[in-house]
A and B are shown apart, each in its own frame.
Chain A
Amino acid sequence: MLQFIAQKLLNKKWLILSIVIGNILLVAIASCNPMYTKAALRKMLSSEMDAYLEENNRYPGTIFVEAKLGKTVLAEKGSAYFKDYTNIFGTVRSLYGIDPMMEVSFYGNSNTQDARFVNSRENASQNYISLKLASLSDLENHVEMISGEMYSKTPDADGVIDVIVNEPVYLSSTMVVGEMLDLDGYRDVNGNTVRIRIAGVFRAKDNADVYWTKAPLSYVNEFFMDQSIFTERFITKDSISGNITCRWYTLFDYDEITTEQVEKMIEVDDKLGYDYLSQGLYRVNYYYHDVFTNFTKNSGRVVNTMFILQCPILILLAVFIFMVSNQVISIEQGEISILKSRGVSKRQLLLTYFGQSVILAFIGFVIGIPFGFLLCHLFGSTNAFMEFVGRKAMHVSITGTALLYGLIASAAGILIMTLPVMKYARFTIVEQKANKRKKTTPLWQRVGLDFILLGISIYGFYNFSTQKKLLIEKVAKGEALDPMLFLSASLFILSCAIVFLRVIPLLAALVFRIGRKFWKPAAYASFLQIMRDIKKQNFITVFLVLTIALGLFNANIARTVNNNEEMRLHYDTGADIVLQEQWADNSSAIKLGYSKTLIYTEPDYSRYTKLQEDNPDKIKAMAKVLVDDKASVNYSGTVTDSVRLMALNTYDFGNTSWLPEGMTQEHWFTYLNALAANPEGAIVSKNFADKFDLKVGNNISVFRSDSSGKSLGRMPLTVVAIMDIFPSFQSRVQVTEEDGSVTYTDQYFVACSFSNLSRYYPATPYQVWMKIDGSTDFIYDWAEANEMNFTVFEDLSNKVITMKNDPYFQITNGMLTISFIVVLVLCAIGFLIYWLTNIRSRELIFGIYRAMGMSMGELIRMLINEHFFGSLIPILFGAGIGILASKMFIPLIEIAYSPAEQTLPTRIFIESSDIVRISVVVGIMLLGCLTVISVLLSKIKINQALKLGED
């Protein structure tokens, strides 16, 4: 049975299966680009729309057309001048091709009219009120009547029109439900007088309902009637009862908007705007327009990034498919040359293999597309590199573009699979046998192609390094990274791998020479095998080095991008929680002239200390930090304004806040201690010290003023330490000028002790920083329970979640995670294939060794030694190359992910867990392989193996 399985394993079926897997992955990864970017962009769009809704408090998915139909315009230009306003919704629908979620139309008087109560008031001045007759479509379904009843849909027999009014309007007036009013100065389109009856008083059912395109309470003059009555009585095609304002709101569900629609909508917006605006009396507005324009700019960046990140893995897959196809064809080499000798033409041969490739590619396509679809879901649930969470599913769908990408990938696959045949199809059996005897150095090695490629990639690296500034500027302008950078990195790794091919035999020869005398027969044979049969191993060696190096490189990119961003967020925020309460002050007294100095009342700090006492295992540390960005500093007569002044208690601050290790010359506590040692000391930023040639021991003066600009006096300080970075301090701030150009302004900081500051200045609002262990939810509960108001409320954990949900980061993490997994899979398959075919081709030799009396154990030891040089050394080398490439290229790649003005230097993260992961997989692979091989070998009957030699 085992032998049967072994035979199957050794059979070509497994190679073919590997090729199919390669094709599936190729198609899946190529096609998941459009699928995923589309879904991610859609999510990005929808979250940007959500943000718009929150900020502007109006529904962003709105197309808004407004017309002011004037009596004079109608008289001058005739009714034809009006666009068919009754069909504006239809026009919008057909232009945009969308299925609106809701359509709301408002028709109403542009100006207020005087209306007289039919029942005169005692006080004659109360006989009249000003109002606007108006109508809102479908109003009846969005209001509740708090008094009276809903208007009737038809005027009564006397032509009296029912109206309803908003609750505040009703309450602020003397009107009563059921009362009638006459609009003496107003005539309808037929010239009749208008009488209305207050049928009821309404209140909006739900103020947050998107139906209320204008807040319900903003209708302070409008008396609403049924819309059909309004159009019948006040606006008809040919006549109009006065100046009428019409508004048409088309609301669509922005969650359903696809990215393709965005482009189209922006186009249509212009057309719609042009069509109506040219009439002179229309106003067209698209609430989503800014979001969309911004989105199209960002989406390009996302798509490019995805593509760039994908490239190396696509190349690796192509190499893999080529490698396995080559293996299959080299096994079939004999058959091919026999066919050639029998007169089969090269064309026919190629056609046969082409057909075979098409079938394999087709299978790859059919399975690859749904597999890509699954991958997209996996992307959506990546939280960080190699971390997955259950997140709300994204709208992933198989699109035409995805199919197209899949087809292109399949076509490439066919080409790659057919390519190796070209090499063999040339020879007949005679030529092939003759070739076998030739021993030539490969062409690339003779011309030194490996060194040339390495040179090119290093040149690329050098070039990008020197243009780092330019790169930063480009990214700041919203451009994606140069794909050439990624190409250089990949090329660097590839060329290193090829150069390594020259090293392995030399290395083996060296070790062989050193211990020539001591080698047991097994080791002796394996060394000769490695040194002399290296050519057969070239491909697997390059592949191993490539996969390990690329896998590690990708992992390091992901780690670096994620960790730096988290680090930056932590640094910028300063602590896990930063709060600044709204302080009560006497500003109203100042306004009224009762007081001249602004005096704050410090809120009860015991609430904070109690919170800490109640949650000792959640709040690890807490610190009062005063932050004043408007301080001025005088040093030897030069005054610098807008300096960030931070006052802190060094012990608490040190425990609460955080600075990454190793980024300051000494541990940052050393600087805090210097401040603690001198109560009148100051820590100043390095850029400030550099600018004024400030040294430790120099004296400076700090000036503060209150919010009205009134000076609060001077505080003398002595510089005790100079630091590059300090929690929450930004040394440069990016300023975008009106013309779009980007400039940077230097920022400075001075930190002093809190108690010292209190000696010079009255209490001003300070922040409370907290170091939290675990969830921050309890802070929110506490703040709510205490009814606290905050001017600053920063929660680091929220910022991190937002970052992780950002499509840009998700794509990066998702793509790199998938790449890493694919690398591991390919590495395992490639490795197994190589060794199994290698063992098979050497079965006869093993038989000879066994016949010569070599024991099974020795034979396995021999293979282990081969493994060591043929696999382990390339793997170690690959890891080395991966780390080297990371150190070289990641600082450049990281630029794309970090804001240009960042103060914190970028650090390269190489996480040992990733190296462990690769090692474990590789270890399992090696072990599994050895086990399979051992089982195979022990099942090989020597006599049968030897028989293989007999034709």
Chain B
Amino acid sequence: MEEILRTEDVKRSFPVAGGDFWALKGISITVPKNSLTILKGRSGSGKTTLLNIIGALDAPTSGTVVFDGKDISNASDKEREVLRRSEIGFIFQSVALIPVMSAYENVEYALRLAGYKGNYHDRVMECLKMVGLSKRASHMPQELSGGEQQRVAIARAIAHKPKIIFADEPTGELDSATSLQVIGIFKELIAKEGITFVMTTHDPKLMGYGDVVYEILDGEVISTINNIEGADHE
């Protein structure tokens, strides 16, 4: 199984009154290419901190993050920006669309930022079609439902063809039917576009959909489930 991302003994501390708080206490995980990896845990477990680090938003206090064969744990701000712009996509829990842009423009904007080389219009419509919203392209975010907004966010995240997409509680504000719909889109994109998804969630119902599931508690991985064929079970 080819890996796209790997962490080795990643630690992260935050200064608090009376010393340091260790949010991550040495995490080593592997994200296989073309898969849906789920980081499971209650709020405060450290899963979002981990996601920020592997998503090049934050740097680890110690340990190594290897993305696509490169060690990014000591990358500069500039290098991180380039990485985020071109190879990484994000989806957030809350409505994270740019409010002054329509669905179409939100997606298009990701292309602009990434300096996408192809035809903008075709790619935007293609992505919107993939999330089933091609008919609502001209709507403004506030005119869309929560699920629809999240689907636009997905379209935006995949538009510039990143290698990996990080989703922080993407279904957190959605009802279960819509949540399943979102996961369905993830699965479809993994199959069609060859993208890798890493998502955090605390929803036990979604665990079964993950190819790899890491359960995190108090900054440590307490269990790993690997549903990929041929993988070792712990």
A-to-B contact residues, CB < 8 Å:
436-437, 439, 521, 524-525, 528-529, 531-533, 844-845, 848-849, 851-856, 941-943, 946-947, 949-951
Pick the contact of B96: A437, A439, A941, A949 (CB < 8 A): A949
Contacting residues, chain A, for B52 (C-beta < 8 A) = 943
Task: Tell me the bound Cα distance from A533 to B101 in angstroms.
Answer: 10
Which single residue of chain A is at the shortest CB-CB distance from B94?
A949
Contact between chains at A848 and B58 (CB < 8 Å): no
What 1/0 mask marks residues of chain B from 99 to 110 whose CB sits below 8 Å from any chain A CB?
Answer: 111000100011
Contact between chains at A848 and B96 (CB < 8 Å): yes
Contacting residues, chain B, for A437 (C-beta < 8 A) = 142-143
Contact between chains at B93 and A532 (CB < 8 Å): no
Contact between chains at B109 and A524 (CB < 8 Å): yes
Given A852-B84, A852-B90, A855-B81, A524 and B112 contact (CB-CB distance below 8 Å): yes
A interface majority secondary structure: helix
Contact between chains at A853 and B100 (CB < 8 Å): no
Pick the contact of B92: A521, A848, A855 (CB < 8 A): A848
Contacting residues, chain B, for A531 (C-beta < 8 A) = 100
Contacting residues, chain B, for A947 (C-beta < 8 A) = 48
B-to-A contact residues, CB < 8 Å:
48, 52, 55, 57-58, 77-78, 81-86, 88, 90, 92-96, 98-101, 105, 109-110, 112-114, 142-143, 168-169, 172
Task: Tell me the bound Cα distance from A849 to B110 in angstroms.
Answer: 9
Task: Tell me the bound Cα distance from A454 to B123 in angstroms.
Answer: 49
Which single residue of chain A is at the shortest CB-CB distance from B86?
A853
Contact between chains at B100 and A533 (CB < 8 Å): yes
Contacting residues, chain A, for B93 (C-beta < 8 A) = 949-950
Given A436-B142, A943-B58, A528 and B94 contact (CB-CB distance below 8 Å): no
The 10 closest A-B pairs by CB, nearest first: A853-B85, A949-B94, A853-B84, A532-B100, A521-B112, A943-B52, A851-B90, A528-B100, A521-B113, A855-B81
Contact between chains at A525 and B109 (CB < 8 Å): yes
Contact between chains at B94 and A950 (CB < 8 Å): yes
B232 to chain A, nearest CB (A): 33
Contacting residues, chain A, for B169 (C-beta < 8 A) = 950
Number of A-B contacts (CB under 8 A): 79
Contacting residues, chain A, for B100 (C-beta < 8 A) = 525, 528-529, 531-533
Task: Tell me the bound Cα distance from A856 to B143 in angstroms.
Answer: 30
Contact between chains at A528 and B101 (CB < 8 Å): yes
Contacting residues, chain A, for B92 (C-beta < 8 A) = 848, 851, 946, 949
Which single residue of chain A is at the shortest CB-CB distance from B156?
A852
Contact between chains at B112 and A845 (CB < 8 Å): no
B210 to chain A, nearest CB (A): 22
A856 to chain B, nearest CB (A): 8
Task: Tell me the bound Cα distance from A949 to B170 in angstroms.
Answer: 12
| Cβ contacts A to B, 5 pairs, < 8 Å | A525-B109, A532-B100, A849-B98, A946-B57, A950-B172
B165 to chain A, nearest CB (A): 12
A869 to chain B, nearest CB (A): 13
B154 to chain A, nearest CB (A): 14
Contact between chains at A852 and B57 (CB < 8 Å): no
Which single residue of chain A is at the shortest CB-CB distance from B153?
A848
Contact between chains at B94 and A521 (CB < 8 Å): no
Contact between chains at B109 and A853 (CB < 8 Å): no
A595 to chain B, nearest CB (A): 99
Contacting residues, chain B, for A521 (C-beta < 8 A) = 109, 112-113
Task: Tell me the bound Cα distance from A898 to B94 in angstroms.
Answer: 67
Given A437-B142, A848-B92, A855 and B78 contact (CB-CB distance below 8 Å): yes
Task: Tell me the bound Cα distance from A848 to B142 in angstroms.
Answer: 17
Which single residue of chain A is at the shortest CB-CB distance from B49?
A943
Contact between chains at B81 and A848 (CB < 8 Å): no
Contact between chains at B98 and A848 (CB < 8 Å): yes
Contact between chains at B105 and A528 (CB < 8 Å): yes
Task: Tell me the bound Cα distance from A439 to B86 in angstroms.
Answer: 35
Q: Of A436, A439, A528, A852, which is in contact with the most chain B CB atoms at under 10 Å from its CB? A: A852
Pick the contact of A852: B48, B94, B105, B113 (CB < 8 A): B113
Contacting residues, chain A, for B96 (C-beta < 8 A) = 844, 848, 946, 949
Contacting residues, chain A, for B86 (C-beta < 8 A) = 853
Task: Tell me the bound Cα distance from A774 to B101 in angstroms.
Answer: 66
Contacting residues, chain A, for B85 (C-beta < 8 A) = 852-854
Which single residue of chain B is at the shortest CB-CB distance from A533?
B100
Task: Tell me the bound Cα distance from A854 to B80 in angstroms.
Answer: 10
Contact between chains at B82 and A853 (CB < 8 Å): yes
Q: Of B77, B82, B101, which is in contact with the most chain A CB atoms at under 10 Å from its CB? A: B101
Contacting residues, chain B, for A854 (C-beta < 8 A) = 81, 85, 113
Contacting residues, chain A, for B58 (C-beta < 8 A) = 941-943
Task: Tell me the bound Cα distance from A947 to B90 in angstroms.
Answer: 14
Contacting residues, chain B, for A856 (C-beta < 8 A) = 77
Contacting residues, chain A, for B114 (C-beta < 8 A) = 853
A650 to chain B, nearest CB (A): 71
Q: Of B57, B84, B113, which is in contact with the most chain A CB atoms at under 10 Å from its CB? A: B113
Which single residue of chain A is at the shortest CB-CB distance from B80?
A853
Which single residue of chain A is at the shortest CB-CB distance from B114?
A853
Contacting residues, chain A, for B101 (C-beta < 8 A) = 525, 528
Contacting residues, chain B, for A436 (C-beta < 8 A) = 142
Contacting residues, chain B, for A949 (C-beta < 8 A) = 92-96
Task: Tell me the bound Cα distance from A53 to B60 in angstroms.
Answer: 89
Task: Tell me the bound Cα distance from A529 to B109 in angstroms.
Answer: 13
Task: Tell me the bound Cα distance from A524 to B48 in angstroms.
Answer: 31
Which single residue of chain A is at the shortest CB-CB distance from B111?
A521
Contacting residues, chain B, for A852 (C-beta < 8 A) = 84-85, 90, 109-110, 113
